[in-house]
Structure formats: structure tokens, C-alpha cells
Amino acid sequence: MMEWSDRHCRYFWRLLSKRAFLYTEMVTTGALIHGDRERFLNYNPEEHPVALQVGGSNPQELAACAKMAESWGYDEINLNCGCPSDRVQNGMIGACLMAHPKLVADCIKAMQDAVSIPVTVKHRIGIDDMDDDEGLAQFVAPIAETGCATFIVHARKAWLKGLSPKENREVPPLNYERVHRLKQEHPNLEIIINGGLKTLAECQAQLAHVDGVMVGREAYHNPWLLTEVDAAIYGEASVAQDRLAIMNDMLGYIDGQLASGMRLHHITRHLLGLFHGQPGGKQFRRVISAGAHKAGAGAELVDLALDEIRSRM
């Protein structure tokens, strides 16, 4: 979810569900240690519970970043061992770490020693020619020995040789059963499944086999899905009333962000899926996409886009 689940996106998501656990986009250790720390770590208090996801492979650097996460008030820090991007592979970040389980265990242990908040890991079921069952078992075992209790598992192997990150979202096929077997083999661990889930019904079906479900791209492209989470998963009342009410809340947020110097398109790009499948949805997206990036664009553009929805109600 790099460049997707930033703080504006997460604030929007929190309006749709009060209980879903939110994760930041992956931030590298280098960006946190040497870059604009406030840009990557700042968040809205409403986002809790929220986890910082980091990318890196140096135990000392990861420990330093874990301390930053805790001091900033994050509820969890998560190590990404699943991203297949060439950019991160070159820095020994992401899915390539699955070939180095001892190093990952050292990283997790260093982070655990540095903070009191939970340290978790997100990974694939395997990479390249790694055998799904044996390779996954060899990866999980030394990490679990550190006391790490939560493993978020993307149920698709990553092919780091010859496939682009985009192709890695479709090839090879998802293997949910492998994640289910991992839970059976490690009943004491919290196993959360990820990959290809598009409906709450599909998520609920997975909960018969694992402890939790992570939804990424579908939540981004069809965010209204999140309004079902509180009732369907947690048995609580939904907070969202209707899409226009959510947008009214977002207009207040947008005004505040624009006043602080933020550009409109940095926020509105995350809102394009709110009216997915609704009358006027395409027109809403067209108005936003055509004008939000222009200098001086303000909340009135969003209101103009909403007229495309109101006129069809």
C-alpha cells in the first residue's frame, strides 16, 4: 500500500469504521532516520488503533524506528517482508527477506527489545522456488521463537525474478489453504490472512480458519466495504450513515488541511472510490480527477463533484 494508506487516507477510512485496525504505508528505515520524520510519522489522533509498517533489514536501524513509533504513539510496529518491488529488493527490504529468516528474527528481536508495543511481521507464503509448506515453516519458526505472536500472511507467493510488482498481484494463484495449515500448525500464534478478499462475506468465511483478515486494495477502491466491518465482525453498530454524510465530514477535514498548506489532490485521490457503483459515481470521479491537482483548487471543487451525486438522488 505504498503511497496509498497515508494519513489522509486513514482519516477517511476511520470515518467508515471505528474498529478496523489501520496500517500505514510501508516506510523505510532510511526515510525515518535520514528523511522528513514528521511527514512519515504524523497521523490524526482519530486513527487509533493504527500501526506503523516499516521496511528494512538492519536490526539496529529497525530498533531505532521502533522507538520512534512508540514515542509517536503508534499501537503496533509491523515489519514488511512481503513487498516484491525491485526498488526495495535492492535495499534488502520486503519479500526478499523471506530467504533470510534468521536475519528477520534478529530484526524482530531488536525491535522487541527496544519497545513495549507489539512487534508483528507481514510476509508472503513464499518466494520464487521456495516450497510453500517447508519454506514457510522455516521462515516462521525462528521468528516465533523471539516471542513474535502475530503473522500477517499474504496468501500468494512472490516471484522476485521475472515478474513485476503488478504481475505479482495476480500470479501465481492465491493459496488460502497454505495459510490455514499454518494456523493449524501454530495454534498459539495469531495468523491474519491477506490477499484477494473483496467482500465481508469472504472475510467472515476466512475467520473459520484464521484469527483475522487484512484487506488492502479492495478497501481502497471500494471503501464503503469498511462500513460493514463494525457490525459484521465486532457486533457493534455501524458509524457511517450514508456516503454524503461521510463527505460532509471530509469537507471539514479538507478545509483544515488546505489551511495548513496541503494540496487538495493529496486528499481527494483517496476519496475517488467512495461512490463506486453509485449513480453519478463516474462523474464525481471525473470532476475530482480533472481539477484537484490544479493550483488553488479547494473544497468548492469537491462540493461541485458532489452535485453530480445529488442531482441523481
Q: Give the catalytic positions in this structure.
A: 83
- Return the percent helix, strand and coil in the chain, to nearest 5: 50, 10, 40
First to last CA, the chain: 33
Q: Among 203, 128, 219, 134, which residue's Cα sits nearest to residue 171?
A: 128
Q: Which residues pair with 190 in a beta bridge?
A: 150
Indicate the DSSP class of residue 158: B
Tell me phi and psi for residue 149, to 5 degrees.
-110, -15
Q: Which residues pair with 55 in a beta bridge?
A: 28
Query: CB under 8 Å to 282, separation ≥6 — which residues?
Result: none
